[in-house]
């Protein structure tokens, strides 16, 4: 095997990368690895922002596909001037979401994928009850399917586990920042670097985020999930993978070998 293209968890991706580095008998090539791994993705809300857009973006990015996306919003960092307003609206919107049979299109969310995912997410919900203020959801039922209510924790410390670790389910943690600079610092305080979003009408802060928010896919004034294939090449930094940018103009070349030829005429 000369080439591995992997999408999945951080731990499996690291294991593949480790094994790929080992020279085997008869091997005369270096194995090439593309890895698209986990995320702990953040929406930053500035004080100069469309606050309804901010709340809608957090809820849709956190709970679409039951939060089972590497790009899902699992953290929101809100500048203190508008913190209460945005949190209250996030709670209102979350409480309107319906969870049930996915064949009924009136339901916004269905189940998580299996029992293992259900167990992991509900364990994180219990952890979150000790790390923040549960303001929406927090309940689950696996009697007829792996259903977990969309869950919001507010007033979470940036160092909390639910702010640091990938949950991969319908759980979002919200923390407060004193200003935009601190909000970006908190957003970067994770081992992942996949996607992020900034809701702001301040052009200077937008440019600061463009330079200083260390994620592979950064969105302004929209949610942090749903990259458009062909327009937004996808891939992230750090423990989110090799930043190979699937869908980008150079992606095909990563699957090829380059050869330079010269001829004397």
Angle formed at CA 236 by CA 230 and CA 239, multiple of 5 degrees: 155
Query: H or E stretch including 75?
Result: strand 73-79
Q: 41-230 has which CATH code? A: 3.40.309.10
CB 176 within 8 A of CB 80: yes
Residue 229: its pLDDT value, please?
Answer: 79
Active-site residue flag, 126:
no
What are 254's two structure tokens? 């990563």
Instruction: Give me the residue spans of the domains in the chain.
Output: 3-36+242-255, 41-230
Backbone angles phi, psi at 198, to 5 degrees: -130, 125
CB 81 within 8 A of CB 47: yes
The answer for residues whose C-beta is within 8 angstroms of residue 143's C-beta and 6 or more apart is none
Residue 153: its pLDDT value, please?
Answer: 98
Residue 230: its pLDDT value, please?
Answer: 80
Residue 169: its pLDDT value, please?
Answer: 98
DSSP state for residue 90 in the 8-state scheme: H
Residue 188: its pLDDT value, please?
Answer: 98
Query: H or E stretch including 197?
Result: strand 195-199
- For 203-265, the DSSP string reads HHHHHHHHHH---SEEEESS-S--PPTTTS-B--EETTB----BTSTTTGGGGS---------
CB 137 within 8 A of CB 94: yes
What are 122's two structure tokens? 């509900």
Residue 249: its pLDDT value, please?
Answer: 85
Which entry of 36, 52, 92, 263 is annotated as an active-site residue?
A: 36
Regions in the chain scoring below 50 on pLDDT: none
Count of CA atoms in the C-beta half-sphere (13 A) of 20? 19
CB 34 within 8 A of CB 4: yes
């Amino acid at each position: 095997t000369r080439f591995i293209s992997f999408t999945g968890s951080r731990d499996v991706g690291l294991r593949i990368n480790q094994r790929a580095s080992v020279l085997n008998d008869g091997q005369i090539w270096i194995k090439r690895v593309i890895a698209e791994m986990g995320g702990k993705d953040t929406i930053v809300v500035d004080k100069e922002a469309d606050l309804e857009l901010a709340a809608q973006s957090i809820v849709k990015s956190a709970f679409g596909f039951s939060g089972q996306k590497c790009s899902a919003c699992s953290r929101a960092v809100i500048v203190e001037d508008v913190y209460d307003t945005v949190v209250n609206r996030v709670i209102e919107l979350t409480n309107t979401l319906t969870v049930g049979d996915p064949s009924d299109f009136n339901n916004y969310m269905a189940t998580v994928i299996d029992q293992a995912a259900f167990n992991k997410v509900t364990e994180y919900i219990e952890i979150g009850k000790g790390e923040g203020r549960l303001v929406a959801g927090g309940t689950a039922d696996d009697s007829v399917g792996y259903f977990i209510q969309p869950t919001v924790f507010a007033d979470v410390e940036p160092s909390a586990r639910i702010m640091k670790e990938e949950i991969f389910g319908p759980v979002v943690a919200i923390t407060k920042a004193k200003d935009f600079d601190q909000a970006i610092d908190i957003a970067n305080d994770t081992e992942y670097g996949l996607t992020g979003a900034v809701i702001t009408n301040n052009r200077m802060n937008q440019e600061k985020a463009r330079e200083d928010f260390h994620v592979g896919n950064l969105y302004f004034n929209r949610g942090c999930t749903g990259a458009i294939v062909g327009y937004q090449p996808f891939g992230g930094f750090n423990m989110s993978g090799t930043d190979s940018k699937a869908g980008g103009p150079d992606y095909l070349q990563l699957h090829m070998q380059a050869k330079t030829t010269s001829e004397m005429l």
